[in-house]
């Protein structure tokens, strides 16, 4: 229309006037064009604009650097449809479309047609049906899809199959019971898939077919699995992290993790495992972190961790039913840094408990066990130990010669809640606290363990044991040195005071 009007005008006005009139227009047009080209060259998107507030209400729209950010909460299908319609004419990039706490039981076909959505969230919206054609138009742009906390009973496979740029799919907190064969076929760019807190009890052997090229993280936690879905998982040679925590897995067997040769982290916590059999992890040559806490493990085969020798650094075995440190099984793990054995039923530690694998350990947690004594040489080869937690045991003594091998490297030590007897061989503790204070204030223990002074029938903070009544000086080198230092400190302060007083008098 404007073009036609102009043309008509040019025929009626004189040629020269027309040229002068249109010059500025040409200039502006050129500038706009140049700007556009510059933006394209710079890789920037042209500026986005939100529709009129009334047209998309109760949804709200904000312009962000990468596109529009749209939020629709506590509304219904009608209003969401209306908002989508208002967005279509300008075909903006919608960087985030977040639909939360709505009443949206069904996602209708073509609802997002002609919209370029990059991240789509439909959360806690009673969603039970995703029609096949509702998402298919988003295939070129959508990278993240979050449909968590809804009523889905199946993976909406047909609606997903065209999302060829999807990187993250979140199906957490739905009601999915079975993952059928090829449920995710077409999602060949997917890197993260999370199915946490569904009701999955069965994963068919071909369930993950098509995800084998890119998938890095898979979360199957909080479901009803009783075994590792070995056949379905075996295709994942790029997978880095597998979470199967909070299921009902009673046994794992050799071969269960076959194929996962790049796995870095395996989480089996909070299942019902009683035993860790030989060679069960032997295919996981790259495994760095293994979490087995919160099971009912009483037995760990001596070859349980074979295959993990070169890479395992983090091992969590807390909240199980172990009666001793499984040293035989741990011995080959010469890279182990972090060993957590809290809340087991360990009452006895043998002198050679850490021989062979202790060198690399920086973090050792033995809290909430039943440990009564520490043999003299037990920590001898823990040459890298920085954190030691032995609170909540039955220790009456923690002799200085037991601690001596680790005292130089320790930065955090917790001995709270033990029935400690105040004695000279605990002097290492106040000394260490002073040291730690000098090394790093933040690391200084805020906790104050108590000990019982037997002959006085009363308790003291270990920091404040009445050394003068304990005949300690001379009995322990570290203690004697440090109390000398303290005495000298006091002496200097007194001299200063005296000098101060004298100078005050002189003035």
The residues that touch ligand NAG, with contacts defined as CB under 6 A, are 101, 124, 321, 323, 345, 347
Nearer to ligand NAG, 116 or 197 (CB): 197
CB of 74 to ligand NAG, least distance (A): 6
CB of 195 to ligand NAG, least distance (A): 19
In whole angstroms, the minimum distance from the beta carbon of 9 to ligand NAG comes to: 57
Q: Which element (helix H / strand E) includes 107?
A: strand 106-107
Closer CB to ligand NAG, residue 160 or residue 371?
371
How far apart (Å, rounded) are the C-alpha atoms in residues 446 and 431?
Answer: 15
Q: Do the beta carbons of residue 446 and residue 418 sit within 8 Å?
A: no
Based on CB atoms, which residue is closest to ligand NAG, 321 or 440?
A: 321
Q: Give CA–CA dist 436/432, Å, rounded.
A: 6
Nearer to ligand NAG, 101 or 372 (CB): 101
- Kind and range of the H or E element at 219? strand 217-219
Which of 308, 295, 304 lies closest to 336 in space, CA to CA? 308
Q: What span, in angstroms and rounded, lies between the C-alpha atoms of 333 and 318? A: 18
Q: In whole angstroms, give the CA distance from residue 251 to residue 361.
A: 29
Q: Are strands 265-267 and 289-291 parallel, antiparallel or unpaired?
A: parallel
Q: Which is nearer to ligand NAG, 272 or 338 (CB)?
A: 272
Q: How far is the CB of 102 from ligand NAG (least distance, A)?
A: 6
Neighbours of 337 (CB within 10 A): 17
Tell me if 135 sits within 8 A of 158, measured CB to CB.
Answer: no
At closest approach, how far in Å is the CB of 267 from ligand NAG?
24
Residue (272 or 411) nearer to ligand NAG, CB: 272
Binning the chain into helix, strand and coil, the percentages to the nearest 5 are 30, 15, 55
Give me the least distance between CB of 321 and ligand NAG, in Å please.
Answer: 5
Asked if the bond preceding 58 is cis, omega within 30° of 0, the reply is yes
CB of 345 to ligand NAG, least distance (A): 4
Nearest Cα residue to 194 out of 205, 209, 204, 184: 184
- The Cα–Cα gap between 417 and 394 comes to 8
Which structure tokens are listed for 436? 């730690």
Residue 267 φ/ψ, nearest 5 degrees: -115, 110
Shortest distance, position 202 Cβ to ligand NAG, whole Å: 28
Tokens found for residue 320? 């199980």
> Residue 171 CB, nearest distance to ligand NAG (Å)?
17
Nearer to ligand NAG, 59 or 312 (CB): 59
C-beta closer to ligand NAG: residue 308 or 346: 346
Q: Which residue has 């909460």 as its token pair?
A: 73
CB of 219 or CB of 344, closer to ligand NAG = 344
CA nearest 110: which of 78, 143, 136? 136
């Amino acid at each position: 229309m404007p073009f036609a009007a102009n043309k008509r005008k040019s025929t009626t006005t004189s040629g020269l006037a027309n040229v002068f009139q249109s010059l500025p227009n040409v200039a502006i047009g050129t500038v706009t064009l140049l700007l556009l080209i510059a933006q394209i060259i710079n890789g920037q998107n042209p500026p986005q604009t939100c529709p009129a507030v009334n047209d998309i209400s109760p949804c709200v729209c904000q312009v962000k650097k990468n596109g529009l950010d749209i939020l629709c909460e506590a509304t219904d299908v009608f209003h969401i449809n209306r908002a989508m319609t208002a967005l279509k004419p300008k075909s903006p990039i919608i960087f985030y479309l977040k639909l939360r706490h709505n009443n949206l039981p069904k996602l209708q076909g073509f609802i997002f047609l002609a919209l370029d959505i990059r991240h789509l969230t439909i959360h806690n919206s009673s969603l039970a049906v995703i029609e096949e054609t509702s998402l298919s138009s988003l295939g070129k742009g959508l990278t993240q899809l979050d449909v968590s906390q809804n009523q889905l009973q199946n993976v909406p496979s047909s609606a997903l199959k065209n999302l060829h740029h999807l990187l993250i799919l979140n199906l957490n907190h739905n009601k999915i019971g079975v993952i059928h064969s090829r449920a995710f076929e077409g999602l060949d760019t997917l890197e993260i898939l999370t199915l946490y807190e569904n009701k999955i009890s069965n994963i068919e052997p071909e369930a993950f077919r098509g995800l084998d090229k890119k998938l890095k993280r898979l979360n199957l936690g909080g479901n009803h699995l009783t075994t590792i879905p070995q056949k379905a998982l075996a295709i994942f040679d790029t997978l880095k992290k597998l979470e199967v925590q909070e299921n009902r897995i009673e046994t794992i067997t050799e071969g269960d993790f076959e194929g996962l040769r790049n796995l870095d982290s395996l989480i089996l916590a909070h299942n019902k495992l009683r035993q860790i059999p030989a060679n069960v992890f032997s295919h996981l040559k790259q495994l760095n972190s293994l979490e087995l806490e919160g099971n009912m493990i009483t037995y760990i085969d001596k070859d349980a961790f074979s295959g993990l020798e070169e890479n395992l650094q983090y091992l969590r075995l807390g909240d199980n039913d172990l009666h001793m440190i499984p040293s035989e099984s741990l011995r080959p793990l010469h890279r182990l840094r972090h060993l957590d054995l809290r809340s087991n039923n360990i009452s006895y530690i043998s002198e050679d408990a850490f021989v062979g694998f202790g060198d690399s350990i920086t973090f050792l947690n033995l809290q909430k066990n039943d440990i009564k004594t520490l043999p003299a040489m037990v920590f001898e080869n823990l040459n890298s130990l920085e954190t030691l937690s032995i609170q909540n045991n039955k220790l009456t003594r923690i002799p200085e010669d037991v601690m001596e091998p680790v005292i130089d490297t320790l930065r955090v030590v917790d001995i709270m809640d033990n029935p400690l007897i105040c004695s000279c061989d605990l002097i290492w503790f106040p000394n260490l606290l002073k040291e730690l204070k000098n090394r790093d204030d933040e690391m200084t223990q805020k906790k104050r363990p108590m000990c019982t002074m037997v002959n006085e029938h009363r308790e003291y903070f270990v920091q404040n044991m009445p050394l003068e009544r304990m005949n300690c000086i001379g009995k322990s080198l570290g203690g004697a040195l440090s109390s000398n230092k303290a005495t000298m400190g006091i002496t200097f302060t007194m001299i200063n005071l005296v000098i101060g007083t004298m100078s005050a008098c002189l003035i």
